[in-house]
Chains A and B, each alone.
Chain A
Amino acid sequence: QSALTQPASVSGSPGQSITISCTGTSSDVGGYNYISWYQQHPGKAPKLMIYDVSNRPSGASNRFSGSKSGNTASLTISGLQAEDEADYYCSSYTSSGTRVFGTGTKVTVL
């Protein structure tokens, strides 16, 4: 049950696009389309942004999109805004029936 690998930090200027990667194995990310992404502001509970690789729940901005290739999933934030500055975590279902989170990525808006 090793955590999925994410970059520790990603930054961009307002209006730019950034992408956060999430790398696992064939037993989690690569084996299932059950990848979700969560945004967490300091002191707050996580918020669902993307589910099932690329679906957006109601309430999540359409500037957020997701994709997957092999054992790596990605979250892209387009038109970066100050309010997007937060920590982001990916999550996957695993072959053991458990769940696993990514190591987390701090997004900074320059």
Chain B
Amino acid sequence: QVQLVESGGGVVQPGRSLRLSCAASGFTFRNHAMHWVRQAPGKGLEWVAVISYDGSNKYYADSVRGRFTISRDNSENTLYLQMNSLRAEDTAVYYCAREEWGKVYFDYWGQGTLVTVSS
């Protein structure tokens, strides 16, 4: 069965960095584009970034472009989100989500990891 397990969340001071990981299992990871989606406490979903199946294409939301970097290691079946210059408004639960092959929707989601940016 498809499993996505995020890790790496925690409390971090403004301006510092954090790297999130998403361990994938139960499917052929290298065949799927992957996304990060976040949800601030009590707020709606916000799309963050996408990386193509082979890592050659990446797109970002305006709110994180230049500060966040999405990457993947297909040999380790792991997705990453490097978050630099963190701000209070980056506080959220971060979900990784799989994109169905050749499609444009999120068919599987992880349970999320909470990032809190606070001094």
Contacts and interface: CB of A to CB of B under 8 A. Distances in A.
Contacts of B105: 34, 36, 48, 51-52, 91
A8 B104 CA distance: 25
Contacts of B44: 3, 87, 89, 101-104
* Size bracket of the B interface: 20 to 34
Interface in A1-58: 1, 3, 32, 34, 36, 38, 40, 45-48, 51-52, 57
Contacts of A99: 35, 47, 50, 104
Interface string B67-95: 00000000000000000000000000001
A52 B99 CA distance: 13
Contacts of B62: 1
22 contacts: A1-B63, A34-B105, A36-B104, A38-B45, A45-B109, A45-B112, A46-B37, A46-B109, A48-B105, A57-B107, A87-B44, A89-B44, A91-B47, A93-B104, A97-B59, A98-B47, A98-B50, A99-B35, A101-B37, A102-B44, A104-B44, A104-B45
Contacts of A69: none
A97 to B, nearest CB: 5
Contacts of B111: 45
* Size bracket of the A interface: 20 to 34
A39 to B, nearest CB: 11
Contact of B45 (A46, A57, A93, A96): A46
Nearest to B60: A98
A88 to B, nearest CB: 10
B65 to A, nearest CB: 10
A96 B59 contact: yes
Given A45-B95, A99-B35, A91 B59 contact: no
A81 to B, nearest CB: 23
B42 to A, nearest CB: 11
